[in-house]
């Protein structure tokens, strides 16, 4: 396992991080299997675990808490907030009112007195940066969080939040967690240059492209990834973007074979090769999934292989741009652009 410094914090984290989204109802991973996955991940040298309050409406956090009991000090623990936790309109967002309440809920579910990294799962356009950063700074000073970061923020919002922290003499986001894979390279255009400029640690999610780069989606075979059940539109092969991804996967599989690698090793080795990326978050549902992903822990792709990948999916290109999570709200809601 390789390790890198998390932004400018001085904290060392493994280049593969364990994501716990599939623990519980989302991935149908039970507590015994989840604990076994955590055990095997830590044994392999992974020292960073990432979860969120809304994964199973708290179920993932509870499972992570049970799995790490007695060894919390040996790992870097991260969770997130802002996405809805129920129907009540104030049980979401980046307000001080909600973050103070929900962090306590997360700590209770995790069975810990602090988290190392508390992340804003999405940008909340209804709440000012000053409001959110002020609340996070106070929670940091209270010892409940060590650092805080953002997730799926557009580049201009990352810059704005850095400016707001400096202008108001508040602590700043030290990490960003964007989606990134060979098939979704859009963050190379704006987000990664910004994170490098501000010295942010980058923890990328979905490095296997929601299963497209796991080997579970190939021409002429039945799609077996679990995500095809929860988000069937992402795997509808009648759409142009999914046809483009399928064609790219077939070409990438040939590159992997010629390099003596699995498709998973190629995919994970690609994202960790970018100098702005700190860790790739893997989200195994089973021990077999974990083992296939751990095989990429020390994968280093040659310049020739990286050039071949660039020829298949150009730098900065998203093959499925409609599946991004950092699109400005005005592009999604006509009322925000047609006043």
What are the boundaries of each domain within the chain? 3-210+264-301
CB of 146 closer than 8 Å to CB of 116: yes
Q: How confident is the model at residue 255 (pLDDT cuts 50, 70, 90)?
A: very high
The residue among 227 and 306 whose pLDDT is bigger is 306
Query: Which residues pair with residue 151 across a beta bridge?
Result: 177
Nearest partner of 201 among 158, 142, 168, judged by Cα: 158
Which are the contacts of 43, defined by CB distance < 8 A and separation ≥ 6? none
Q: Are 182 and 267 in contact (CB under 8 A)?
A: yes
Catalytic residue ranges: 55
pLDDT surpassing 80 at residue 16: yes
For range 268-286, the mean pLDDT: 97
Query: Backbone phi, then psi, for 77, in 5-degree steps?
Result: -110, 130
Which residues neighbour 183 within 8 Å (Cβ) at sequence distance 6 or greater? 209, 212, 213, 245, 248, 249, 313, 318, 319, 320
- Grade residue 299 by pLDDT with cuts at 50, 70 and 90: very high
Grade residue 227 by pLDDT with cuts at 50, 70 and 90.
Answer: low
Q: Which two tokens stand for residue 68?
A: 């790490």
Q: What percent of the chain has pLDDT over 70?
A: 98
Q: Give the CA distances from residue 179 to residues 100, 114, 121, 269, in Å, rounded to whole numbers and listed in that order.
A: 27, 26, 12, 15
C-alpha separations of 185 from 18, 182, 213, 238, 274 in Å: 22, 6, 14, 22, 11
So what's the pLDDT on residue 76?
Answer: 98
Structure pTM? 0.93
Class assignment of domain 3-210+264-301?
alpha beta
In Å, what is the CA distance from 331 to each residue of 30, 160, 234? 38, 19, 20
Question: What is the C-alpha radius of gyration for the chain, rounded to an integer number of angstroms?
Answer: 19
| pLDDT 10s digits, 123-152 | 999 999 999 999 999 999 999 999 999 999
CB 60 within 8 A of CB 20: yes
């Amino acid at each position: 396992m390789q390790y890198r410094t998390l932004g400018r914090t001085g904290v060392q984290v493994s280049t593969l991080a364990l994501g716990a989204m599939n623990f519980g109802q989302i991935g149908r991973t039970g507590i015994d299997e989840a604990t076994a996955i955590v055990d095997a991940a830590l044994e392999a040298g992974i020292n960073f675990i990432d979860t969120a309050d809304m994964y199973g409406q708290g179920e993932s956090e509870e499972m992570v808490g049970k799995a790490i009991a007695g060894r919390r000090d040996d790992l870097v623990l991260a969770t997130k907030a802002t996405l809805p936790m129920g129907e009540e309109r104030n049980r979401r967002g980046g307000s001080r009112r909600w973050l103070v309440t929900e962090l306590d809920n997360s700590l209770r579910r995790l069975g810990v007195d602090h988290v190392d990294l508390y992340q804003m799962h999405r940008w909340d356009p209804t709440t000012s940066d000053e409001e959110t950063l002020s609340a996070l700074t106070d929670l940091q000073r209270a010892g409940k969080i060590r650092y805080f970061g953002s997730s799926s923020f557009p580049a201009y919002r990352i810059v704005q939040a850095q400016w707001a922290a400096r202008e108001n003499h508040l602590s700043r986001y030290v990490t960003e967690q964007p989606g990134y894979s060979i098939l979704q390279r859009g963050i190379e255009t704006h987000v990664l240059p910004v994170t490098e400029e501000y010295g942010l640690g980058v923890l990328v999610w979905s490095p296997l492209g929601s299963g497209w780069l796991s080997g579970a989606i190939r021409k002429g075979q039945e799609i077996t990834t679990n995500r095809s059940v929860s988000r069937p539109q992402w795997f509808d092969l009648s759409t142009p973007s999914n046809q483009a991804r399928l064609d790219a996967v077939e070409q990438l599989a040939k590159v992997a074979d010629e390099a003596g690698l699995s498709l998973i090793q190629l995919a994970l080795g690609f994202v960790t090769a970018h100098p702005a990326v700190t860790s790739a978050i893997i989200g195994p549902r089973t021990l077999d999934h974990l083992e296939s992903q751990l095989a990429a822990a020390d994968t280093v792709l040659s310049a020739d292989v990286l050039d071949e990948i660039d020829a298949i999916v150009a730098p900065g290109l998203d093959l499925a741009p409609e599946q991004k999570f950092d699109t400005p709200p005005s592009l999604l809601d006509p009322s925000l652009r047609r006043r």
